[in-house]
Amino acid sequence: MTLNCNGKLIDISSPKVMGILNITPDSFFHVGKYKNESDIILQVEKMLFEGATFIDVGAYSSRPGAIHISEDEELQRIVPIIELLVKHFPEIIISVDTFRSNVAKKTIKAGAAIINDISGGKMDTKMFTAIAELQVPYIIMHMLGTPQNMQQNPVYEDVTKEVISFFAAQIFKLHQLKINDIIIDVGFGFGKTIEHNYQLLKDLSLFKNLDAPILAGISRKSMLYKPLDTTPQLALNATTSANTIALLNGANILRVHDVKEAMEAIKIVEQLS
């Protein structure tokens, strides 16, 4: 259970935390909070200090109904930030949240180490060959549709079975290209109803049969705050509860806005063993 990140072997047999840095102006939680270099550096410094192993940087908003932006705009937003972070934190392990193969190539060249693809290779047919060329860890997420339409009417006969089948097919293609560092993300909130999300959370341990590390990205999402009739800003306690369930069901990486609380959840769950 190791990932080769820019030559560093990261052991994920013990769960790790991935801190979220959204540099989009319309993030569902940060809402364009990190607009200048000093704010970005301070936030990343905080997440690393609190225990984040990875920092996931995204410049394309993937919230439901998000506005589509061009590849050029995505690159203009993200490449300077990757270069900034690598300069200030030479040991940092950066994951880039993108579905575009060219963005993947240019951000890895700028110093990133992991590609996190919300489309699982579906929105850019060149992504798998790019990952094979780059030989970097690849997070493959399941999404029904696109960010623009995924929540309009998501329908499954058996959500767990269908998501597992999707991963099995995509992982087979990746292995054919000699890509081995694969992490799976069931895609909570990406083309799923609240009921679908909780079925996947309940069944998360079944995904261990795919023989790939599991990333859980639940932090402050609507599956948490809508049942409680609250907001993303008030969903930290719910996030910790859901992250704890994910850990108990086999999650290896927690992708979160709040690193300290996620680290505490990991430490408490580890007391059971």
Rounded-to-integer distance, Cα 203 and Cα 222, Å: 19
Among 77, 173, 221, 260, the one annotated catalytic: 221
Residue 9 tokens, joined? 């072997």
Q: Residue 15 — φ and ψ, nearest 5°?
A: -55, 145
Q: Residue 173 — φ and ψ, nearest 5°?
A: -65, -40
Which residue, among 262, 196, 210, has the nearest Cα to 16 in the 3D structure? 262
Active site annotation includes 208:
no
DSSP H or E segment with residue 215 = strand 214-216
Terminal C-alpha separation, the chain? 18
Confirm if 22 and 44 have CB atoms less than 8 A apart: no
Among 63, 122, 220, 255, the one annotated catalytic: 255
Active site annotation includes 255:
yes
Question: Which residues carry out catalysis?
Answer: 221, 255
